[in-house]
């Protein structure tokens, strides 16, 4: 008979945590954005860890924002209206120069695993198609209704992970510099400054396109006035400050935040059932700089709040609960320096909070196991009298102070925590992608590349099921079927949820281990109480038998025997 002590299990769990600490990966994913240019297409592409930006070198327009980082539940997405980017997996040597290569030297395995090996011939490529847009591509600039002819200026790195690209042009006598600042971080933001130098005495009007809005499309047009969102442009003089304009879809946000006071919105007819929207300002005599922030990325409330655009979104209660979980996860990450350790601390905190309920569940489960002979005797005695059977069972539950539902409520409470953590990991995916890895997993927001945590979690769940399964003989067909399903369920879970984020599997693995430890402790409490009750002091913790069967209740036996005798007599 196999036996295990609480001290041995605690030492083993502590050793596991030390192993995780020693093997934690301290590599950080932040890097300088990569630059690719094509003279044939008059394009220059800036690639960060989460997105790709394509600019026209002759106009300084933003022709493409392609989100190539794909957290669980998301997909690659082009978010510039009028641009269609299709991702393909091809042999890099078999394509011609007319195909816009999105990730020339980033083989498919490297962004997923961040390991230093790859298959060089298999790379992401993308073909793009552009539609004619009446208002121009985003960031198209007109001076006195004249388009500006730009040329590519300086491209420089001003600090780690930050790249600045400039476009220099002139129209209507006004010199203009567009300056984009792109940072390889999780924020999905691009800084934009427009410098104007007007040598004349009279101001000159400028218009900066943001997007063309299809009134029959799925995107929502949103303005910010006095810090509050609006679906329509307000008349001048009816608001104090204008904060920006952009489009929202179900999954993405394309919004230009305005940081200059003398900028106002404009709206004009586009093609067919569309309108062109953007911002307008004047180039006064002399030199001036206007500042903007473009948010072009996934619709994430906390990231948008960090970009000063929290009022643009209008989330429900569920999204705000997710936001609270994300903030807690980020705080734990700041304390520990690693999302893996943040998830470990999150597991410990949730287990501490839930321990009183789990203790009650485990004690109820143990008592239910020990009651099986009594229940079976009642079921055999009153099998033809369902009302009396139900009454006798409830009397037994009441006498033993057991709630049948008490065995399941704590388990059910774990599912909301799992769902909340799953959504929190999804909403933190960009930050996890750019943070240091943990053990062999470079990105905890993606699946475990080797399924190691999935295998470990499945084994831990089967062990836990063995501890909780009824071991007494004669437990009944229902108990045997439940036990069998308890062994099958972990395997089914591993198969159906193998692609879930590795961080969620890490949490569930550690949560299961802590659950086993708590169950062993409670079993020890029950065994100790039984030993004290019979006057013994030698306590042994057994994996196969939770505790010896208690003596049969005399009164209940007498009632059951009398009822059985009455049935035989009447028969």
Report pLDDT for 119: 34
Confidence of residue 436 (pLDDT cuts 50, 70, 90): confident
Span of 6-10, 204-208, 447-451 with lowest mean pLDDT: 6-10
Nearest to 520 by CA among 549, 543, 494: 543
Alpha-carbon distance of 217 to 221, in angstroms, equals: 10
Span of 57-61, 110-114, 287-291 with lowest mean pLDDT: 110-114
Assess whether pLDDT exceeds 50 at residue 548.
no
Alpha-carbon distance of 212 to 140, in angstroms, equals: 11
Report pLDDT for 561: 53
Q: Assess if residue 570 is contained within a domain.
A: no
Q: Give how many domains the chain has, as a whole number.
A: 2
Report pLDDT for 105: 36
Residues 410 and 533 in one domain: yes
Residues 329 and 218 in one domain: no
Assess whether pLDDT exceeds 80 at residue 485.
no
Span of 19-28, 182-191, 250-259, 391-400 with lowest mean pLDDT: 19-28
Span of 18-32, 35-49, 246-260, 330-344 with lowest mean pLDDT: 18-32
| Strand residue runs (E) in 68-121 | 77-78, 83-91
Assess whether pLDDT exceeds 80 at residue 241.
yes
Q: Assess if residue 1 is contained within a domain.
A: no
Report pLDDT for 451: 86
Report pLDDT for 316: 67
Kindly tell me the burial class for residue 18, based on how many C-beta atoms sit within 10 Å of its own C-beta (0-12, 13-18, 19 or more). Answer: exposed
Report pLDDT for 314: 74
Nearest to 36 by CA among 126, 129, 103, 127: 103
Span of 224-233, 423-432, 561-570 with lowest mean pLDDT: 561-570
| Whether 503 contacts 444, CB under 8 Å | yes
79 or 526, higher pLDDT: 79
Report pLDDT for 145: 83
542 or 255, higher pLDDT: 255
Report pLDDT for 27: 45
Q: Assess if residue 342 is contained within a domain.
A: yes
Assess whether pLDDT exceeds 70 at residue 437.
yes
Residues 65 and 191 in one domain: yes
- Find where tokens 């229940």 sit: 375
Query: Of 299, 333, 358, which residue is a domain's last?
Result: 299
Assess whether pLDDT exceeds 90 at residue 213.
no
Confidence of residue 250 (pLDDT cuts 50, 70, 90): confident
| Whether 108 contacts 123, CB under 8 Å | yes
Assess whether pLDDT exceeds 70 at residue 520.
yes
Assess whether pLDDT exceeds 50 at residue 212.
yes
Cα angle for residues 301, 305, 307 (degrees, 5° grid): 120
Residues 73 and 104 in one domain: yes
**DSSP letter (8 states) at residue 245:** E
For 127-148, the DSSP string reads EEEE---TT-STT-EEETTEEP
Residues 19 and 100 in one domain: no
Of the chain, the percentage scoring pLDDT greater than 90 comes to 10
**DSSP letter (8 states) at residue 378:** H
Assess whether pLDDT exceeds 80 at residue 499.
yes
Average pLDDT over residues 352-381: 72
Q: Assess if residue 433 is contained within a domain.
A: yes
Domain that holds residue 52: 34-299
CATH code of the domain covering residue 94: 2.70.98.90
Report pLDDT for 562: 54
Assess whether pLDDT exceeds 60 at residue 529.
yes
Report pLDDT for 62: 92
Q: Assess if residue 313 is contained within a domain.
A: no
3-state secondary structure of 26: coil
Report pLDDT for 482: 58
Report pLDDT for 296: 92
What residues have CB less than 8 Å from 491, skipping those under 6 apart? 458
Nearest to 149 by CA among 135, 136, 167, 166: 167
Alpha-carbon distance of 296 to 247, in angstroms, equals: 10
Residues 12 and 116 in one domain: no
Give the mean pLDDT of the chain: 75
| Whether 286 contacts 197, CB under 8 Å | yes
Of the chain, the percentage scoring pLDDT greater than 70 comes to 69
For 19-78, write each residue's pLDDT tens digit: 555 555 544 445 678 888 777 778 888 888 888 898 988 888 998 898 888 888 788 888
Average pLDDT over residues 494-516: 85
Q: Assess if residue 312 is contained within a domain.
A: no
Cα angle for residues 157, 159, 162 (degrees, 5° grid): 60
| Whether 290 contacts 260, CB under 8 Å | yes
Confidence of residue 421 (pLDDT cuts 50, 70, 90): confident
Hey, how many other C-beta atoms are within 10 angstroms of the C-beta on 398? 10
What residues have CB less than 8 Å from 414, skipping those under 6 apart? 354, 511
Confidence of residue 442 (pLDDT cuts 50, 70, 90): confident
Average pLDDT over residues 9-13: 58
Question: In this structure, what are the phi and psi dihedrals at residue 156, rounded to the nearest 5 degrees?
Answer: -145, 155
214 or 89, higher pLDDT: 214
Alpha-carbon distance of 2 to 8, in angstroms, equals: 13
Hey, how many other C-beta atoms are within 10 angstroms of the C-beta on 95? 15
454 or 319, higher pLDDT: 454
For 369-420, write each residue's pLDDT tens digit: 667 777 777 777 777 777 777 777 777 777 766 665 555 555 666 777 788 8
Residues 19 and 48 in one domain: no
Residues 219 and 330 in one domain: no
Residues 273 and 379 in one domain: no
Residues 20 and 103 in one domain: no
Residues 280 and 151 in one domain: yes
Q: Assess if residue 315 is contained within a domain.
A: no
Residues 417 and 510 in one domain: yes
Report pLDDT for 168: 93
Q: Assess if residue 316 is contained within a domain.
A: no
């Amino acid at each position: 008979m196999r036996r295990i002590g609480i001290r041995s299990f605690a030492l083993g769990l502590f050793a596991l945590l030390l192993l995780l600490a020693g093997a934690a990966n301290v590599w950080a994913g932040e890097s300088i954005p990569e630059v690719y240019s094509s003279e044939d297409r008059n394009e220059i592409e800036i690639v960060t860890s989460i997105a790709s930006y394509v600019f026209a070198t002759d106009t300084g327009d933003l022709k493409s924002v392609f989100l190539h980082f794909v957290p669980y539940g998301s997909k690659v997405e082009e978010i510039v209206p009028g641009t269609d980017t299709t991702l393909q997996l091809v042999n890099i040597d078999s394509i011609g120069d007319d195909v816009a290569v999105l990730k020339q030297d980033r083989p498919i395995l490297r962004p997923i695993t961040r390991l230093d090996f790859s298959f060089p011939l298999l790379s992401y490529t993308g073909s793009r198609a552009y539609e004619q847009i009446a208002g121009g591509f985003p960031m198209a600039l007109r001076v006195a209704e004249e388009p500006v002819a730009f040329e590519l200026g300086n491209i420089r790195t001003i600090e780690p992970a930050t790249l600045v690209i400039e476009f220099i042009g002139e129209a209507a006598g006004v010199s203009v510099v567009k300056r984009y600042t792109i940072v390889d971080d999780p924020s999905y933001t691009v800084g934009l400054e427009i410098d104007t130098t007007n040598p004349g005495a009279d101001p000159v009007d400028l218009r900066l396109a943001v997007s063309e809005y299809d009134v029959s499309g799925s995107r929502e047009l949103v303005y910010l006035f006095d810090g509050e969102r609006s679906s329509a442009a307000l008349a001048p003089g009816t608001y104090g400050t204008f904060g920006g304009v952009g489009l929202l879809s179900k999954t993405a946000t394309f919004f230009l935040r305005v940081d200059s006071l003398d900028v106002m919105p404009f709206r004009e007819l586009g093609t067919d059932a569309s309108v062109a929207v953007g911002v307008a300002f004047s180039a006064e005599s002399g030199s001036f700089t206007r500042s903007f922030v473009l948010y072009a990325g996934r619709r994430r409330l906390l990231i948008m709040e960090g970009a000063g655009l929290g009022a643009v979104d209008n989330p429900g209660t569920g999204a705000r609960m997710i936001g609270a979980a994300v903030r807690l996860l980020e705080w734990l990450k700041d304390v520990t320096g690693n999302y893996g350790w943040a998830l470990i601390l999150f597991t410990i905190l949730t287990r501490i909070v839930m321990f009183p309920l789990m203790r009650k569940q485990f004690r109820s489960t143990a008592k239910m196991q020990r009651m099986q002979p009594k229940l079976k005797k009642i079921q055999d005695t009153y099998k033809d009298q369902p009302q009396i059977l139900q009454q006798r069972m409830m009397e037994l539950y009441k006498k033993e102070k057991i709630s049948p539902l008490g065995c399941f409520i704590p388990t059910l409470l774990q599912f909301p925590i799992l769902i909340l953590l799953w959504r929190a990991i999804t909403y933190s995916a960009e930050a996890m992608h750019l943070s240091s890895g943990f053990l062999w997993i470079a990105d905890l927001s993606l699946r475990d590349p080797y399924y190691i945590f999935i295998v470990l979690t499945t084994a831990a769940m089967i062990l836990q099921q063995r501890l909780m399964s009824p071991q007494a003989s004669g437990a009944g067909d229902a108990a045997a079927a439940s036990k069998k399903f308890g062994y099958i369920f972990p395997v089914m879970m591993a198969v159906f949820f193998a692609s879930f984020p590795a961080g969620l599997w890490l949490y569930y693995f550690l949560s299961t281990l802590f659950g086993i430890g708590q169950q062993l402790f409670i079993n020890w409490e029950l065994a100790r109480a039984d030993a004290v009750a019979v006057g013994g002091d030698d306590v042994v913790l057994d994996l196969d038998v939770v505790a010896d069967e208690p003596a049969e209740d005399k009164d209940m036996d007498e009632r059951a025997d009398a009822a059985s005798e009455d049935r035989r007599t009447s028969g």
